[in-house]
Structure formats: structure tokens, C-alpha cells
A = this chain, B = another copy of it.
Amino acid sequence: MAYSKAWLNYQVVENIRFPFDTLYAETGDKRIQIAAQELQVAAKELAKIKLSLVSDSSQIQRAAKENGAIPAARVVKGGIFLEIDGEMQNEESYRISRQGRGLVVCGGGESGLLYGTFALIRIMQTDPQLLSKICSGKQTVEQAPANPLRMLNHWDNVDGSIERGYAGNSFFFVGNELVIDGRTRDYARLLASVGINGTVINNVNVRGAATELITERCLPQLSRLAELFSSYGVKLYLSLNFAAPIELGGLATCDPLDGQVQDFWKKKMEQVYAKVPSLGGFLVKADSEGRPGPFTYGRNHAEGANMLARAIRPYGGLIIWRCFVYNCRQDWRDRKTDRARAGYDNFMPLDGQFDDNVILQIKNGPMDFQVREPVSPLFSGLKETNMMLEVQAAQEYTGQQRHLCYLVPMWREILDFKTYAAGKGGDGADSVADIVSGRLYGQGNCGMAAVANTGDDENWTGHDMAAANFYGFGRLAFDTALTAEEIAREWVRCTYGCNREILDCMLPMLLSSWETYEKYTSPLGIGWMVNPSHHYGPNVDGYEYDRWGTYHYSDCRGMGVDRTMSGTGYVSQYNEPNCSMYEDIKTCPEELLLFFHHVPYTYRLKTGKTLIQHIYDSHFEGAMQAQNMLLNFDSLKHILPPGAFERIHTRLKVQADHAKEWRDRINTYYFRISGIPDEKGRTIY
């Protein structure tokens, strides 16, 4: 099937100044070979320049010497040098600078060089001024990745389906077989271009044939795939079935303290790494939503994770252990148990007990990727445990890639959240970004992961503009100082070229889309008002009487969940002053009001509006904004490339209609239950 180039859609940049004709690169390593090829292609497509490649070592050395000796002013055209600089501290960092009459792209290692090359190409695509400054020697660009690990988690099943996939089927698996083709390579190229250095290709729910990925049947193909990924600086990871000792090993148990189980894993890792030596490690979902785990045997999660970590240690592998552990058989009548508490309650007592090649992967919020949640208190609490932040590019609860919802602003807020882990009077360098990057606690095994939003759709992501989340995750994970706007701007330009009208139209669409989606779906942090199972579309009581621990407790007087000290006590999991801030309804951020408090409909918000009026207004506004987005987008009718306009327009239409359905259902529910009419007299059914 044909598929797009996404943001690597190199188009001619008008009036580009790129005065080079030769590319010098020792292409012994595949990553450098790829960097060189990529730069040649980009120069040709973007600037119509043919870069000749010189890869002979002595020729390069001679040219480098000459380049340094000749004053820049004497020549018109120069060379580009792709070099490794062993002095740079981080193998993945890069520097782009003018030296003599040449341009030097320098990497701390081969991956850094590849990232530097893609950075140069991105600057060519998006920032002529910066390019000019670099080429004229006025500016040097230097960058080390903020996070050591920058990963994607694919929830692809080996049968080719994708759990929570909204962009077609898997391009990794077809009919229980691993596929490696041109698209696999182009996928790795997209990852490298934004600095993603790891990917888990199979669903965290490992069942049936997926368990067999770590058997001889699959290892040869995995070895080929790992090699292909390595040539783009990407490590292959797999999700693992904790019950494999039973299902593959024929044992009666998968108890992590059982000698036979430990032996199974030791031998299994030996077998796997003999065939796939570059494998990064394994992602594990245990004791969660029906998956097996250490709890079955009365063991804790440290015992479970460490057992695997010790088996994989000889090969330098990592065990990434998900913290998404909660009671998914809760009784809705029980108002004391609070799912939001579960991650912290389960994992805080284990702080310091995990081996150093174990990483806890923690979802951004305490629930599950709702449009708005507070930041998980585990980031504030854990101090002696490797942590990775998990976000979800797949729009499970945020419109399923039929609605536009650019999530980088949300991720930006999460990274900026001040944890007070370094104490109340600290220097402030204890944001989530400081923690997951390893800066605060000096950790190396940490970083960010995103549940991927890709599939085999032509445009990779279902909604053309959902690719901004894929792109944005990689960029933000690499450089946590970027703003959501900078990333959006880059993505539009890389994808659609430098047309001003496209940028002027799409940039505000992207930047307002999260807030718009929040307004017409679930304002004030309540969440969960979706249809069960598939999670698409409004259903106020969809999860209200269910076993998932996700309630709003609406009655004729008010709504929301009391998580204060007199409620479930969840607020106590935060450091001060966050705990007190959430505890007090007056200081609790209003966007999270109903997450922390049960509030009467007549309660007045800071705007002076009552809660019920805010609910009505928010839904009317959100639906109107979705409608306006559709109308504004019309201006791009003859400007966007053929196909793109129609595809996006169709989805925006679906979104605008669906936003009205959200508005009417939620408003009707609250009008019926509260009996309080809309002050503005708009139609509520």
C-alpha cells in the first residue's frame, strides 16, 4: 500500500541559501551512511543541489585540512563534513557549525551525527534565517538529548490488529508474521528524524501467538528488524508475557522466586540475545487488567521485575515495568476505594528496591490518559527508582484521530509540573522533566515513552494532522525546552512546506485543539464520560456503575469525586504545597476541580459562573469552536496538496458534528439531573 512521507516530505524551499557541493563522510557505520544519503536527498529536493559524496578517509582528511586553511571569503561553495567528535560527552548529542569554508555536522557518536544531520535538514525546511546564520558562521547549533530514553510503545497485536489503533492495521505484523519491508525502513527513518531511540513493537497485552515472539520461530526475523532499526539509531524492544514460563516453558508456575522460573528466564534471555544481541530489553504489563504477575504468587512488583532484570543483565538489557496496576474489579458502590491512589499505593513502598536496569514506566496521570488529569504523584514520590513518563499519542480518549487534538501542550504542562520532590524551598529544578530526564537524581535509565498513534493507513496516523503528535512526541522528548508552538510550527512547515497561509491556518487549529476537545467533552477534570470498551463518543453514565473505578457521582445536587483528606485522601500522595493546593477548593486549579472535589451545581467558579452554567457554556463553546475550525479550514481548499484537504476536511466535519452530539448529550444529562435551566436559554433537550 502507498503511504506518505509524513514530515519528511522534502519540498523545494524558495530562495534557500545552501552553498555546498560536496559531502565528506566516512560511511563505514550504517548510521553515517544513512545520514549522508539523507542529506544528499534533502539537498536535492529542498535546494536543488547535488552534493557529491566523498567517503575515502584520506581524501576527507585532506579536504578537512584544506578547508581549515583557506579563509571562507575566498570561495563560493564549500563542503559539508559529517564527523564524530569523541570529546562530546553524550554519544547522541550533535553540533552544527561553520568551520572554515565548510559546514561541520558533528556527533558525539554515530547516532548523534544522524540526529545532527536530520536537525540540519529540519533547519533547511523550517528556518531560513537560522540556516543563514549557521552557514555564515554567526551561529552554532548544539544539542544533547534531554532524555536518555525516548521510546514508542506500539500496541500492535501479532494478528495485525492494533489495540487502541486508529490508523488502520499494523505494519509490523500480518497474520502472526513479522513483516520487514520498505515501510519498516521508512518508519525507522521517521523515528530517527525526531530523535526517538527505542521502540516496542508489540502490544503490552501479550497473549497467544505474541508470547512466541521470543521463540526460535521468530528470532531470525527479529534479528533482521533489530539490525535495520540499529542503522537508524533505534533499539528494538519487545513486550513480554510474564506467564511465559507456563505458556512456553511448560512450568506450573511463573512465581518470580521459583528457581525453575528464574532458570527459564535465564536460558530464555541467553537464547534471545544470542540471536538478537542489540535488543534493548522488554516492556512488562503485570498484574494489570487481567494480565498475570507477581501478585498471583504473593510476591511484590520489585521481586517480579528484578527477577527478569537479573536474567537480562548480562546482555545490558532493560526491564521496563509498567505501573498501571489497579483493581479493575471494583464495586461501584464502594466510595472509599480510589483507583487514582492505586499506582502510588502499590509502588511507593517499593522505592529503592528495584535493580538499576529496571525502569518504572508511569502514565502521566493517575487514571488513564484522560483529556485532563493531575500529574501522577509517583513522580513526586519515588526517589531511588528509575522512572519513565508514559504519554499516549494514540488518541484513545481524545477523539481517536477522528477529532483533531494536538497533545503537545498537554505533555508540555506535564513536564513543567513542579513536584517539590527537591523540597519546598528547593531551586525549582524538580519538575517532571527534571525527574524523568534523570537530572534530579542522576539517573541514566529513564526518559519518556509514548503509546504510538500509527498504523498502515496511507498517512500513518489516520488523521493527517495527528502526525503532529507523533512528530511532537519525538521532538519534545529530545528537547524538553521546546514549546508546543515551536513544535507545531516545525511540523506544519516540514509537512506542507513554507506556505504562509497553511501555517497561519493550521497553527491556531493545532494549538487550540486540546482545549476545544476538553471543552465539549469533559471540562473541569471529571473525565470518563465515554462509551464503554471502545471509548469513543459521549456517555455520561458509561462507566458510572461499572467495575473500573471511574465515577463522577453526579446527583441532583452536584458532581465530582471528593479526593481530599475527608474523601479518599488521594491529595496526600502529593508533596506540599501541592497537597494543600488540591485539598482546598479555593486553590485547586479549576481545570481539575471535579477531579478533586464533589461540587454543588450552584458553586461559583472564579469567573462568577455557577458550576452548572460553566458546564453548559463550556459545551456550547467547545462545539462552536469545532464548527469554526471546520469553517476556517475551508480557506486551504486550493492550497493544500490534492487529497490532503479532503481527508482533513472530512474528519473536521465528523468532529464538528460529533462535538454537537457531545454538547447535547452532556448538557441534556445535566439539565435533566439538576433541573437548572441554562441562563442563556439555549436549546437543551
Q: Which residues of A contact B (CB under 8 A)?
A: 332-333, 335, 538-541, 545, 554-557, 664-665, 668-669, 671-675, 685
A664 to B672 Cα, complex, angstroms:
21
In the assembled complex, how far is the CB of residue A32 from the closest CB belonging to chain B, in whole angstroms? 55
Contact residues in B for A541 (Cβ distance below 8 Å): 539-541, 669
Whether B555 contacts A672 by the Cβ 8 Å rule is yes
Q: Are B555 and A545 in contact (CB under 8 A)?
A: no
Can you pick out 25 interface pairs between chain A and chain B where the beta carbons lie within 8 Å of each other? A332-B685, A333-B664, A333-B668, A333-B685, A335-B685, A538-B545, A539-B541, A539-B545, A540-B541, A541-B541, A541-B669, A545-B665, A545-B668, A545-B669, A554-B672, A555-B671, A555-B672, A555-B675, A556-B556, A556-B672, A556-B673, A556-B675, A557-B675, A672-B673, A673-B673
- Cα distance, A357 to B554, chains bound together (Å): 56
Collect the chain B residues with CB atoms within 8 Å of residue A671's CB: 555
Within 8 Å CB of A675, what residues of B?
A: 555-557
Q: Which chain B residue has the least Cβ–Cβ distance from A333?
A: B685
Residue of B nearest to A675 (CB): B556
Q: How far is the CA of A613 from the CA of B291 in the complex (A)?
A: 44
Structural contact, A673 and B555, CB atoms closer than 8 A: yes
Which 10 interchain pairs have the tightest Cβ spacing?
A555-B672, A556-B675, A333-B685, A541-B541, A556-B556, A545-B665, A673-B673, A556-B673, A333-B664, A557-B675
**Taking the nearest CB of chain B, how far is it from the CB of A530, in angstroms?**
12
Known: A332-B685, A333-B685, A539-B541. 8 other contacts (CB 8 A): A333-B664, A538-B545, A555-B671, A555-B672, A555-B675, A556-B675, A672-B673, A673-B673
| Residues of chain B contacted by A664 (CB below 8 angstroms) | 333
**Alpha-carbon separation in the docked complex, A305 to B545 (Å):** 45
Select from chain B the residue with minimum beta-carbon distance to A672.
B555
Taking the closest CB of chain B, its distance from the CB of A620, in whole angstroms, is: 15
Please give the distance in Å from A96's CB to the nearest CB on chain B: 56
- Nearest CB in chain B to that of A554: its residue: B672
Shortest distance in angstroms between A29's beta carbon and chain B's nearest beta carbon?
55
Query: What chain B residues lie within 8 Å of A540 (beta carbons)?
Result: 541
Q: Which residues of B contact A673 (CB under 8 A)?
A: 555-556, 672-673
Expressed in whole angstroms, the minimum distance between the Cβ of A430 and any Cβ of chain B is 41
In the complex, chain B residues whose CB is within 8 Å of the CB of A674: 556
**Nearest chain B CB to A674's CB is how many angstroms away?**
7
User: How far apart are the CA atoms of A665 and B664 in the complex, in Å?
Assistant: 24
What CA separation (Å) do A675 and B554 show in the bound complex? Answer: 11
Nearest CB to that of A674 among chain B residues? B556
Provide the bound-state CA to CA distance between A668 and B539, in Å. 18
A148–B650 CA distance with the chains assembled, in angstroms: 56
With a cutoff of 8 Å between Cβ atoms, the chain B residues found around residue A333 in the complex are: 664, 668, 685
- Complex interface: chain B residues within 8 A of A545 (CB): 538-539, 665, 668-669
Q: Which of A541, A554, A671, A675 counts the most chain B CB atoms within 10 A? A: A541
Q: How far is the CB of A560 from chain B (nearest CB, A)?
A: 13
Distance in angstroms from A332 CB to nearest chain B CB is 7
- With A and B bound together, what is the CA distance between A556 and B554 in angstroms? 12
Q: Please, which residues of chain B bring their CB within 8 A of the CB of A554?
A: 672
Q: Considering only CB atoms, which chain B residue lies closest to A546 in the complex?
A: B539
What is the CA–CA distance of A221 and B333 in the complex, to the nearest angstrom?
A: 55
Residues of B within 8 A of A672 (CB): 554-556, 673
Closest residue to A673 on the B side, CB-wise?
B673
CB distance from A682 to the nearest CB of B (A): 13
Beta-carbon nearest neighbor of A666 in chain B = B545
Give Cα A333 to B538, complex, Å.
14
When chains A and B are docked, how far (Å) is the Cα of A669 from the Cα of B555? 8
Cβ–Cβ < 8 Å partners of A665 in chain B? 545
A557 to chain B, nearest CB (A): 7
Bound complex: CA A673 to CA B674 (Å): 8
A556 to B669, CA, bound (A): 10
Shortest beta-carbon distance from A263 to chain B in Å: 41
Residues of B close to A685: CB separation below 8 A: 332-333, 335
Cα–Cα, bound, A685→B334 (Å): 9
Which of chain B's residues has its CB closest to A531's CB? B532
> Roughly how many angstroms separate A664 CA and B331 CA in the complex, as a whole number?
11
Nearest to A671 among chain B residues (CB) is: B555
A335 to B, closest residue via Cβ: B685
Least Cβ–Cβ distance between A286 and chain B, in angstroms: 30
Q: How far is the CB of A522 from chain B (nearest CB, A)?
A: 16
Give every chain B residue within 8 A of A557 (Cβ-Cβ): 675
Assembled-state Cα–Cα distance A673/B672 (Å) = 8
Give Cα A668 to B540, complex, Å: 15
Nearest Cβ distance between residue A531 and chain B, in whole angstroms? Answer: 9
Residues of B within 8 A of A539 (CB): 541, 545
Min C-beta distance of A615 to chain B, whole Å: 15
Return A610 CB to nearest CB of chain B, in Å.
16
Chain B nearest CB: distance from A668 CB in Å? 7
Q: A334: nearest residue on chain B (CB-CB)?
A: B685
Closest to A555 in B: B672
Tell me the complex Cα distance, A87–B673, Å: 69
In the bound complex, CA of A665 to CA of B335 (Å): 14
**Which residues of B lie under 8 Å from residue A668 when comparing CB positions?**
333, 545
Chain B residues lying within 8 Å of A335, measured Cβ to Cβ, are: 685
Interface centre among A540, A555, A671 (most CB of B within 10 A): A555
A664 — nearest CB in chain B belongs to which residue?
B333
In the complex, residue of chain B having the shortest beta-carbon distance to the beta carbon of A541: B541
Bound state CA distance, A545 and B538, in angstroms? 9
| A539 → B minimal CB distance (Å) | 7
Question: What residue in chain B is nearest A542 (Cβ atoms)?
Answer: B541
Chain B residue at minimum C-beta to C-beta distance from A559: B672
**A665 to B674, alpha carbons, bound, how many Å?**
19
List of B residues within 8 angstroms of A669 by Cβ: 541, 545
Contacts of A555 in B (CB 8 A): 671-673, 675
